[in-house]
Amino acid sequence: MKINRRSFIKSAAASSALAAAGSIFPGISFAEWKKQEGASGKINWQKAPCRFCGTGCGVLVGMSGDRAVAVKGDPNCSVNKGLCCVKGFHSVQALYGKDRLKKAQVRKNGKMVEVPISEALDVIAAKIQETIKKHGKDSVSMYGSGQWTIPDGYVASKLFKGCLGTNNVEANARLCMASAVTGFMTSFGIDEPMGCYEDIEAADVMITWGNNMAEMHPVLFSRMLASRKRKQNVTIVDFATRTTRTSQAADKSILFKPNTDLAVANAICYEIIRNDWVNWDFVTKHTTFHKGKTNIGYGTEDHFSFKDKPEDITFEEYKTFLEDYTPEKVQRISGVSAKDIKYMASLYGDPEKKVTSFWCMGMNQHVRGTWIQNLVYNIHLLTGKISTPGNSPFSLTGQPSACGTVREVGTLTNRLPHGVVMNEKDRKMAAEIWDVPLSNIDPKPTYHTVEMFRALDRGDIRFMWIQVTNPMVTMPKLKRYREGCLKDDRFIVVSDVYPTPTTDVADVILPASMWVEQEGLFGNSERRTQHFDAIVPGPGDTMSDTWQIIEVARRLGFEKQFPWGEDEYIGKIWEEYRRFHDSPKHNMAPYTVLKERSGVQWPFVNGKETRWRFNTKHDPACKKGTEFDFYGKKDGKAWIWARPYEPAAESPDQEYDFWLCTGRVIEHWHTGSMTRRVPILHNAMPESYVELNPEDAADLGVTNGEKVKIISRRGDIVMKASINGRGVPPRGSVFVPFFDENYLINEVTLDAFCPISKQPDYKKCAVRLEKA
Amino acid sequence: MLRVIKVILCSKKNCNPMHNYDRVLILLTMKEKKYAYDGGLMPILSYLVLPQAGAMEQLCTDLSAIECCEVIPSDNEEVIVLVTDTPDDNTEKTLQKKLKNLPSLQSISMTFGHSAE
């Protein structure tokens, strides 16, 4: 249907208002709109998951002809029930930025030159072959993303691990949820949350651990506030290192000193035991006690390695361990009053209250990320508040398919779509499904993300293909890794939708399809797999990341492993991938079911989704005859860990006297490469800033909007001060959002990581400030 | 060429435009921005408009009577979607004044804005 430009804009304007109304007044109807001339024919709504965060909101994309003009929340999606946040509402505009990458580019004589995409794919395949021949199979690598679709990650893993024989496959989810994985694995022996978003409505108490949900998971936070309003007796506690919108909306805000959440979690457990709030029946039947190594380091040196050594302990030994964590002792470490610690313990300990804990990057990007997950699980395990509606330790993810693509497909160096490369049974399964010789799959993991970029800098890796992520903004201690990419004899391929600081270091740029320009699947925070169709035609020579990999694989001679046609490959890949999870513990829904619904939760068994895992009433994988079965562990029992408080890798001292914490803002998705192309979002938050405590600002002689220089041992940056803005850090701390490529805050941050998960800590390093 | 207007939301003094803090929280980004209209040519804007108590019908009538306004009333809530399409800055400014002075209007929140140069 033809419409002129002006009526098209008016239609988009009306759709935007209708979508906003739908989010604010659920169920609102505008029958008159349909009567308007051409309106019902102009907008055709099609389902998709939102492109941005890990919440996995269902959206309806409004199509006018072959152009996406509007978005509204999908009322049929149980995640958001018709709600959307500002990013979601404006998401389709991110498809149409004027500098969209539409043509492939190859560096020739030092300059990027546009070429047909087939030529660029030829160059990539030839370079992979040449590099392997010269430097060995482990000199080539793939760095992907939690924004990869599930098929993207699957074919990347199949090509690199199955065909090329290198475990050099990592994804940016290492930077965002690796500690969540190791937390689950060490406490439960199996990954991903046991609960679901319905816990929000069932809970009496919700505690956010270092998690500004009002900005990072705004739709879920709206559900929390709506539940509080409806039920009246709901309590929300924000436990954080700075005051945010979440704190403002919470019933109680409690601030702690960075890294001391470890001590506070132990103190809560101490109080639960001291007051005999332990659910003894649950603890006796379903848990065991353990300790691991201590003083485990921070990974700041190349080739750092660590292997934990778990030991069994008794409950009495655990109780003795907790004596170092009385509320009074922990008050001195954490800055949290003993009274507040006891208050939090009393909420968890009250047998009449259902308690859900939420966390995301605050606990994941943590030099003891695995430990703090263990410790929060301890609280829920001691009280038996787990795997039942409203009782959930809930690890949220930040990216739309960090769970679906990275955790479930296993696009990390040590993982396979089922299990790990170190396990022969898992390798056999992969070799059989992938139709490759077993010997192809190397039993040794190679490099986790930070070490992969170090290897690139050192020259152990010479070729890196980066898809759907922007590491030249996001890597900590960025300067070293950017310089590594730019060294002679390094070859960088970048597949993306817009120019970024990462495409700046590329030797080949592939123009990628974005979101609903391709068919794909995401997997969200609550084990929900979400299918979307190709709704919008992509511009120019854009090609899905999956198909780019297939094209290169075929050029490398792996036609047999990548045989699918362009009109069927997503469905075929899904059905092949599904074979890896063919068990009641992880069965995935068939392609045909996913196409129809706004997301399906796994385990999907006998046509039914599983809401609460490990609970026999809800989870068909549990053994009969017991109320709970933590089947990830051989004995069906979850582990309670004695993990101590240890300080951050770098704390403020006389020279560098402030903590630096980095994070996101509601308007922008990650590095802003998409949302900064959305004019409304960009204008709402045009540049990054540094949040200062008002008293620190006064000491520095800085007023709102004046420039401040932030200096660390790695680098420095000058940016505007925000004082009493939307967030307020305590004295001695500053916060900087990382979305703005004009202010590369990661040149200042430290590449220390959790030795178990290898996830870097973006929340803590030492800086000093100067008025600029 | 399309140019985006910086205006996000305006409302009359002393009224909460959405009556519902919880749901509005997700839109706070919009609410807290400065409400400066930067005066592009031929702007197209859309708004959510709320009437004074009992004045839904009157507000529909008032808005429909203003040139450059298209009105889409909700049939089950006291909410109106308003789309405005003005040919130039002066007309836009006049329109803004008229809207602000409507007695039947309680609040008006912008949801979309483009101006074509």
Average pLDDT over residues A254-261: 98
Question: For the segment A634-686, what is each residue's pLDDT rounded down to a tens digit?
Answer: 999 999 999 999 999 999 999 999 999 999 999 999 999 999 999 889 989 99
Least CA distance to A17: which residue of chain B? B111
Q: Is A398 part of the annotated catalytic residue set?
A: yes
Contact status, residue A155 vs residue A191, Cβ threshold 8 Å: no
Using CA atoms, how far residue A658 sits from A654, A703, A754, in Å, is: 9, 18, 22
Per-residue model confidence (pLDDT) at position B115 = 66
Residue B4 has pLDDT above 80, yes or no: no
Q: Is A46 part of the annotated catalytic residue set?
A: no
| Residue B72 β-bridge partners | B81
Residue A55's CB is within 10 A of a number of other CB atoms, namely 29
Asked if B25 lies within 8 A of A214 by C-beta distance, the reply is yes
Question: For the segment A404-442, what is each residue's pLDDT rounded down to a tens digit?
Answer: 999 999 999 999 999 999 999 999 999 999 999 999 999
The distance in angstroms from the start CA to the end CA of chain B is: 6
Confidence band, pLDDT 50/70/90 cuts, at residue B113: confident
Contact status, residue A484 vs residue A456, Cβ threshold 8 Å: yes
Residue A24 has pLDDT above 50, yes or no: yes
Chain A contact set for B76 (CB, 8 A): 27-29
Confidence band, pLDDT 50/70/90 cuts, at residue B76: confident
> Whole-angstrom Cα distance, residue A580 to residue A409?
9
Structural domain boundaries, residue B21: 2-116
Q: What angle do CA A207, A284, A632 make, to 5 degrees?
A: 70
Candidates A72, A87, A354, A385; catalytic one: A87
Question: For the segment A286-300, what is each residue's pLDDT rounded down to a tens digit?
Answer: 999 999 999 999 999
Per-residue model confidence (pLDDT) at position A509 = 98
- Decide if domain A5-96 falls under CATH 3.40.630.30: no
For domain A104-176+401-563, which architecture applies? 3-Layer(aba) Sandwich (3.40)
Mapping DSSP to helix (H, G, I), strand (E, B) and coil, where does residue A63 land? Answer: strand
Mapping DSSP to helix (H, G, I), strand (E, B) and coil, where does residue B31 land? Answer: helix
Residue B33 has pLDDT above 60, yes or no: no
Q: Could you give the number of structural domains in chain B?
A: 1
Average pLDDT over residues A203-213: 98
Asked if A245 lies within 8 A of B22 by C-beta distance, the reply is no
Q: How many CB pairs under 8 A join A and B?
A: 131
Nearest by CB to residue A86, choosing from B26, B44, B114, is B26
Asked if A683 lies within 8 A of B111 by C-beta distance, the reply is no
- Average per-residue pLDDT for chain A: 95
Confidence band, pLDDT 50/70/90 cuts, at residue A31: low
Nearest by CB to residue A14, choosing from B23, B76, B83, is B83
Average pLDDT over residues A707-735: 97
> Whole-angstrom Cα distance, residue A503 to residue A750?
23
At residue A692, φ and ψ (nearest 5 deg) are -120, 150
Q: A352 or B30: whose pLDDT is higher?
A: A352
| Nearest in space to A548 (alpha carbons), one of A511, A598, A582 | A511
On whether any CB of chain B is under 8 Å from the CB of A12, the answer is: yes
Average pLDDT over residues A745-755: 98
**Topology of the domain comprising A192-395:** Dimethylsulfoxide Reductase; domain 2 (3.40.228)
| Buried-state track A616-655, b at ≥16 Cβ within 10 A, e below 16 | bebbebbeeeebbbbbbbeebbbbbbbbbbbbbbbebeee
The distance of A228 to chain B (nearest Cα, Å) reads 10
Asked if B26 lies within 8 A of A30 by C-beta distance, the reply is no
On the CB side of B56, CA atoms within 13 Å amount to 12
User: Within chain A, what is the greatest distance between any pair of CA atoms?
Assistant: 76
Candidates A399, A530, A561, A601; catalytic one: A399
On whether any CB of chain B is under 8 Å from the CB of A679, the answer is: yes
**Dihedral (CA of A545, A551, A552, A553) sign:** positive
Residue A582's CB is within 10 A of a number of other CB atoms, namely 12
Question: For the segment A170-183, what is each residue's pLDDT rounded down to a tens digit?
Answer: 999 999 999 999 99
- In chain A, pLDDT over 70 holds for what percent of residues? 98
> Whole-angstrom Cα distance, residue A126 to residue A128?
5
**Domain-wise residue ranges, chain A:** 5-96, 104-176+401-563, 192-395, 658-749
> Whole-angstrom Cα distance, residue B14 to residue A419?
59
Q: Which helix (H) or strand (E) holds A105?
A: strand A104-108
Per-residue model confidence (pLDDT) at position A250 = 97
Q: Is A163 part of the annotated catalytic residue set?
A: no
> What DSSP string describes B70-105?
EEEE-SSSS-EEEEEE-SSHHHHHHHHHHHHT-TTE
Average pLDDT over residues A542-564: 98
Average pLDDT over residues A560-583: 97
Kindly report which listed range (A63-77, A99-113, A630-644, B26-40) carries the lowest average pLDDT score: B26-40
Asked if A36 lies within 8 A of B72 by C-beta distance, the reply is yes
Candidates B111, B115, B117: best to mutate against A (most CBs of A within 10 A) is: B111
> Whole-angstrom Cα distance, residue A71 to residue A17?
10
Residue B11 has pLDDT above 70, yes or no: no
Strands A58-64 and A44-49: antiparallel
Average pLDDT over residues A211-235: 95
Per-residue model confidence (pLDDT) at position A32 = 60
> Considering just the CA atoms, what is the radius of gyration of chain A in Å?
25
CATH code assigned at B10: 3.30.70.920
Per-residue model confidence (pLDDT) at position A39 = 42
Average pLDDT over residues A548-556: 98
Kindly report which listed range (A36-40, A556-560, A704-708, B19-23) carries the lowest average pLDDT score: B19-23
Contact status, residue A82 vs residue A22, Cβ threshold 8 Å: yes
- Please provide the size of chain B in residues: 117
Question: For the segment A100-145, what is each residue's pLDDT rounded down to a tens digit?
Answer: 999 999 999 999 999 999 999 999 999 999 999 999 999 999 999 9
State which amino acid sits at residue A578. Answer: R
Residue B74 has pLDDT above 90, yes or no: no
At residue A407, φ and ψ (nearest 5 deg) are -80, -40
ipTM: 0.74
Chain A contact set for B48 (CB, 8 A): 17, 20-21, 24
Average pLDDT over residues A334-362: 98
What SS3 string covers A12-28?
A: HHHHHHHHHHHHHCCCC
On whether any CB of chain B is under 8 Å from the CB of A4, the answer is: no
Please give the DSSP secondary-structure letter assigned to residue A556: T
**Dihedral (CA of A213, A214, A218, A223) sign:** positive
Average pLDDT over residues A726-750: 97
Question: For the segment A607-627, what is each residue's pLDDT rounded down to a tens digit?
Answer: 999 999 999 999 999 999 999
- Decide if domain A658-749 falls under CATH 3.40.50.740: no
Contact status, residue B20 vs residue A24, Cβ threshold 8 Å: yes
A-contacting residues in B 23-52 (Cβ below 8 Å): 23-30, 32-33, 44-48
Per-residue model confidence (pLDDT) at position A628 = 98
> Whole-angstrom Cα distance, residue A648 to residue A654?
16
Contact status, residue A252 vs residue A238, Cβ threshold 8 Å: yes
Q: B26 or A620: whose pLDDT is higher?
A: A620
Q: Is A85 part of the annotated catalytic residue set?
A: no
Per-residue model confidence (pLDDT) at position B116 = 55
On whether any CB of chain B is under 8 Å from the CB of A701, the answer is: no
Per-residue model confidence (pLDDT) at position A8 = 73
B-contacting residues in A 724-743 (Cβ below 8 Å): 726
> Whole-angstrom Cα distance, residue A113 to residue A101?
13
Per-residue model confidence (pLDDT) at position A525 = 96
